[in-house]
Amino acid sequence: MTSNVKGFTLVELVTVILILGVLILGVNGIIIFGSRIFVESSSVDQVIGQSRFSVERITRELRNAVPNSVRLTSNTNSQCIEFVPIVASTSYLTMPIASLTQVANGAKVMRDNAQSRIAAGQWAIIYPVSEADVYQQAKAKRFSLNKVTLEANSIDLEFAAPVQFSAASPRKRVYFSSDAVSYCFEQGGDLYRYAAYGLLEVQPTASSMPVARVKVLMGQHVVNDLGDNDDLPLSLTPASLMTNAIVQLQPRFSVLGETFQYRHQVQVINVP
């Protein structure tokens, strides 16, 4: 009897298996290569986005700083920039100021807006022409508010005790603030924001921050050499009679062997 059964020979099967193996290896290489490109691109985009956010955040806050409150400190472990953010500002109508009025525990200022941001517990600061005027209470340029009463077109301020500011503002400006804020580039490549630690006469470093503070991670992968004065991420040109304070931001970031650097200048435009 004649058999009509058909099939593949062993040689044909081995040949097909070899061809499929080669195809699988090629496709697998393409998939792995594409996945690696995607992961690396995502990592780069994440670091770039994070760095842009941190630089923009520092810029916005510095532009809203109390005049002459910006100061800088550096060591081999960290570099920190500190300033006092403005919560509100307005013009005063009556204020206990030396050579103008007697010591008093009350004052009156113009209402800044319909929903005033001035509140008890804040600092009232008048005519700060140096960082000492902001951070040293003995200079009599800042006093704490005990009570705030909103009137129709003005705000009544009450201090905790009778006070007297040491100097008047040429334009009768008064600034209101709470605690200082610090941005610290730290050894290891991290950037942190410190807040809610008060106003200290001596500027704290990252390692000397009070225990009672709020610490938030703002950026990573910073590769500036904090021991090299020519490679620090921050520099400060203090205010003078001719110019406002200028902060130069120049942090370098690194990801997957690639390094990029920002060169950004911030002018602190507020004046006493």
User: pLDDT tens-digit profile of 200-212?
Assistant: 999 999 999 999 8
- 43-52, 57-66, 195-204: least confidently modelled range: 43-52
Q: What is the CA radius of gyration of the chain?
A: 30
Tell me the percentage of the chain whose pLDDT exceeds 70: 91
pLDDT at 268 over 80: yes
Q: Which residue has the higher pLDDT, 35 or 230?
A: 230
Q: Are 218 and 193 in contact (CB under 8 A)?
A: yes
The pTM is what?
0.82
Q: Are 136 and 199 in contact (CB under 8 A)?
A: no
Task: Count helices and strands (H / E) in the chain.
Answer: 2, 16
- Report the distance separating Cα 166 and Cα 158, nearest Å: 18
- 13-22, 101-110, 225-234: least confidently modelled range: 13-22
pLDDT at 272 over 80: no
Nearest to 147 by CA among 179, 107, 105, 119: 119
Q: Which residue has the higher pLDDT, 46 or 162?
A: 162
- Report the distance separating Cα 89 and Cα 70, nearest Å: 18
Q: Rounded to the nearest 5°, which phi and psi values hold at 266?
A: -120, 125
Domain definitions of the chain by residue range = 44-82+181-268, 86-177
H/E element, 109: strand 104-110
Q: Rounded to the nearest 5°, which phi and psi values hold at 16?
A: -60, -45
pLDDT band at 8 (very low <50, low <70, confident <90, very high): low
